[in-house]
Amino acid sequence: MSNITNLLKKDWYFQGFNGVPAVLNGPTRSMVYDMPKSLGFGYSASIEYFSHDVCYYLYAWEDLYKVRDELLSHFKNKKNYLNFLLKLDEKKCKQALKDYRILSKINLSKVNTKRLFGIWCKANDIYGSLLGVSHIVEGFSLTTEDQIRKLINERFPNNQQALLSLTTPRQHSFMSIEHYELCLIARAIKSAKLSAASINKKISIHQKKYFWKLNGYTSAKYLDNEFFVKEMQELFSKKVNFEKFIREFESLSKRTKQKDKLLKKIKNKELLDLLKISDTLFVIHDRRKEHMTQAITHLELVLEEIANRFNIPLADLHYIRPSELEMLPDIWPELKKRRQCSVYFLFPEGELPVLTGAEAKKYFQKLEKTESFDEVVEIKGNSASPGKVTGTVKVCRGESELTKMREGDILVACMTQPEFLPAMKKASAVITDEGGLTCHAAIVARELGIPCIIGTKNATKVLKDGDLVEVDANAGIIRKI
């Protein structure tokens, strides 16, 4: 256990979200196994802390800087390195979907248990493989975004619009595309140009294409036609201006032209290089989110069959590792303990035993180095979507807490994920501990037209449910009132 003692000496970045080990096996193994195979460099270790389906995913700062330095070195010394990353990532993602389609044709109820275990291990291997390139994103974004903001502000002082324009991606996210396509259907319905049969057909096509969009790191969610009908009804009830949204969506080329005009005014090569890399990594980041979200469906289908076969609740089975399947059903009591509190480790050399209970909590507290925030009345972060509002805080550390949100509340979270979307639609503003300019919270907030402040580091610790706050996303400041 000397390895985990040595980890306490390192500085860590804490990425908090709702998640479970069974859905995060692939992402974890890709950091230490698949990324080095694909790119020649990666991460030295992975730590995950879980408590009641809320996860803290830890990155060693020294690993993040190493990944950044490797990326910048290859970018400077290898022609078309960014194009190489794009093509390799696309190839891996396409292959993963192809492999999952093959697995999905297997009648899981007909295979023996040994083969069923093998199928779940294979599904995890595919998951890890599709992420073999994309973990480069954290190594770049977490270590360079402050520098990008600093350099932009030096060239365009106190110009929030310049910052947003220069960091706006050159293509739409898959989430934006889905919303756009739904709005196209809603507009056609509103114009009364479609028959009932045509409407049903369009909704069915949309459902088959995006039934997985609210999958999260805790579970898969199959969305039926009725779900998308309700989404459109919500758009109608809020009197969304479909023409305006569609026009703005389709004016991306206009926005990129504005970005290019600003780029021509920049002489600083470091900033130009960082913005170029950032544009490329947005594509990889968004592709990763899209394919990970789809992959979760396949993982869960196999795990559900295993849970049914052993008569174990899926919620408990979410805490098993592929290497432990042969221990079923005897490992079940241990899985229950892990749900309460557990720490998982992974090294290039392999897994270590999982810490649980008081031992896990004590270890995590040593990593976290907690401090008091009782006297803090003002929080600073980075603006991701402009605006200024006052409202009541609702802190949502996991999906189970999203039901607290009421229309006009201010959503405070470690970070947002696809399953947060219904709550974000109710929010008057969004505040997160983490995230960059192209994170989920930033993209959705801009799309919804609500203020958003990201990267506060401690908003979920400082703020409490019921706090009245002023959110000044123009300045990146939250004040308790």
CATH of the domain at 474: 3.50.30.10
Interior angle at CA 218, CA 410 and CA 289, nearest 5: 75
Is residue 190 in a domain?
no
**Quick one: 430 and 312 in the same domain?**
no
Which of 163-167, 191-195, 294-298, 321-325 has the lowest average pLDDT?
Answer: 191-195
Mean pLDDT in residue range 355-368 = 94
Task: Please report which helix (H) or strand (E) contains residue 70, including its range.
Answer: helix 61-77
**Quick one: 319 and 343 in the same domain?**
yes
Is residue 221 in a domain?
no
Supply the angle between the helices 61-77 and 136-155 in degrees, to the nearest 10. 70
As given in the structure block, the two tokens for residue 122 are 């294979």
**Quick one: 426 and 456 in the same domain?**
yes
Maximum Cα interatomic distance, the chain, rounded to a whole number of Å: 69
Asked whether the whole model's pTM tops 0.75, one would answer yes
Is residue 316 in a domain?
yes
Is residue 174 in a domain?
no
**Quick one: 17 and 124 in the same domain?**
yes
Cα–Cα distance, 168 to 136 (Å, whole number): 19
**Quick one: 47 and 74 in the same domain?**
yes
When pLDDT is cut at 50, 70 and 90, the band that residue 442 belongs to is: confident
**Quick one: 387 and 328 in the same domain?**
no
Cα–Cα distance, 150 to 154 (Å, whole number): 6
**Quick one: 300 and 410 in the same domain?**
no
Taking only the tens place, the pLDDT of each residue in 8-57 is 999 999 888 889 999 999 999 999 999 999 999 999 999 999 999 989 99
**Quick one: 362 and 447 in the same domain?**
no
Q: How many structural domains compose the chain?
A: 2
**Quick one: 461 and 348 in the same domain?**
no
As given in the structure block, the two tokens for residue 289 are 């989110």
**Last residue of a domain, which of 313, 345, 368?**
368
When pLDDT is cut at 50, 70 and 90, the band that residue 305 belongs to is: very high
Is residue 72 in a domain?
yes
**Last residue of a domain, which of 318, 346, 368?**
368
| 318 C-beta neighbours (distance < 10 Å), count | 24
Task: Please report which helix (H) or strand (E) contains residue 55, including its range.
Answer: strand 54-60
Is residue 251 in a domain?
no
Burial 165-200 (b: 16+ CB within 10 A, else e): bbbbbeebbbbbebbbbbbbbbbebeeeeeeeeeee
Counting Cα atoms < 13 Å in the Cβ hemisphere of 338 gives: 24
Q: Which one has a higher pLDDT value, 330 or 4?
A: 330
Is residue 122 in a domain?
yes
**Quick one: 315 and 399 in the same domain?**
no
Is residue 362 in a domain?
yes
Q: 293 lies in which domain range? A: 2-136+280-368
**Quick one: 364 and 393 in the same domain?**
no
Amino acid at 436: G
